[in-house]
Amino acid sequence: MTALTRRRLLLGAASAAAAGGLLGIGDLARSATAARASDTGGPLRIGYLPITDAAPLLLAHSAALYPTGVVSSAKPVLFRSWAALAEAFVTGRVDVVHLLMPMAVQLRYALGGGVRVLGWNHTNGSALTVAPDIEDLTDLAGTQVAIPFWWSIHNIVVQQLLRAHGLRPVLRRSASRAARTVELIVMSPSDMVPALANRSIGGYVVADPFNAVASIKKIGRIHTFLGDVWRDHACCALITREDVIAQRPNAIAQVTDAVVGAQLLLNSDRAGAAKALGGGRYLPQPVPAVQLALTYPTPPYPLIHPDWQPQRLGYTPFPFPSFTHRLVEAMGETIIDGDRRFLDRLDPAQVHDDLVDDQFVRDALARRGGPAAFGLPESLHREEQVATS
């Protein structure tokens, strides 16, 4: 990629990032793909955000599950925002990342970025955290609520929750208690905790451990786990690019197997994983916050669906087609500050087969005890369960 093209891409990303997305630069993304075509060697590079969603990628490195020479021996590359991670991924600075599932849809169909989902990185693991004086969702009327990205499961589910309680999500305007509106704003996860502490926002919806941090510091409380609304929803997916799969299928198979192995380790020893990842080793948050995020007990307030165990951050790798279908439908019902015209071209029933390449995760599951090792049905089929009350 030439310096000029990279500069143009960065400028496009910066302007779009203000709206929480990378939009309107599809031709540049395709240029980036072409520029990578001759890059067929060297260790794969891992990128991540410092959230517990990234734990499988990080624990695979900490536990030396990646085969020597397949993945860079250096620590995975930490990014502070979804826009920065996406820009690095599209331009080839990193090859394998965890990425918001709705964002993967956006990158593939709005930018033509060659995104392929290899499997799920985790399920659940996010919550709506509110200021201490917020008792009922209706108390959010007239406030701002922060989300990490427009195309995120966080934005999708919080809008469903607000509407179910008679509130109207709005963009770029002052929220009004009288009009029962709630203004949604995009904010980097690391900025959410101080914003809630100084009461510039009424709440935020994000992945852990930022919800756990607010609880420990007593500056906010978890109001709703998103898994209590959409059962075992995928938040982040394990993704790479089509050119990486084409050039290095064996390496991608080994990386996928290592991540699936790390998911099994996470499920067997959450406390040990928190010590391996937290306290600045991979995640900047203190070990107690990471451990709380990985091991939430039953919360001291009623869950809508306690049998769903919605507070439980799940590490299951198989990408169910039913989720992709329902997700694309939900994206069509979600307001964002940005271009959404790409959705008009999509058939929700067809997106999964085009976006997801599950051959590697199926092979990894077979090598590691099959679906039963993760408590998944042998049929690898499920029906989505979504309920806002």
pLDDT along the chain (389 residues), means of 10: 34 40 44 44 93 96 96 94 92 96 96 92 96 94 96 97 96 84 94 96 96 93 96 97 96 98 97 97 95 89 91 96 98 95 96 98 97 96 93
Cα–Cα nearest to 296, from 284, 285, 306 = 306
For the chain, the straight-line distance linking the first and the last C-alpha, in angstroms and rounded, comes to: 50
CB-based contacts of 12: which residues, under 8 Å, 6+ apart?
Answer: 22, 24, 25, 28
CA pair distance 132, 30, nearest whole angstrom? 47
Cα–Cα nearest to 154, from 118, 116, 119, 192 = 192
3-state secondary structure of 171: coil
* Structural domains of the chain ordered from first start: 40-124+233-386 (3.40.190.10), 126-231 (3.40.190.10)
3-state secondary structure of 99: strand
Residue 330 · residue 336 · CB < 8 Å: no
CB-based contacts of 143: which residues, under 8 Å, 6+ apart?
Answer: 175, 182, 183, 201, 202, 203
Extract the runs of DSSP E, i.e. beta strands, from 302-370: none
Please give the model's pTM, rounded to 2 decimal places.
0.89
Q: What is the DSSP letter of 157?
A: H
Summarised one tens digit per residue, pLDDT across range 58-117 is 999 999 999 999 999 999 999 999 999 999 999 999 999 999 999 999 999 998 879 999
Report how far apart, in Å, the C-alpha atoms of 13 and of each of 40, 162, 194, 213, 238 are. 26, 30, 25, 30, 22
Q: Tokens for 345?
A: 């071209």
Residue 349 · residue 242 · CB < 8 Å: no
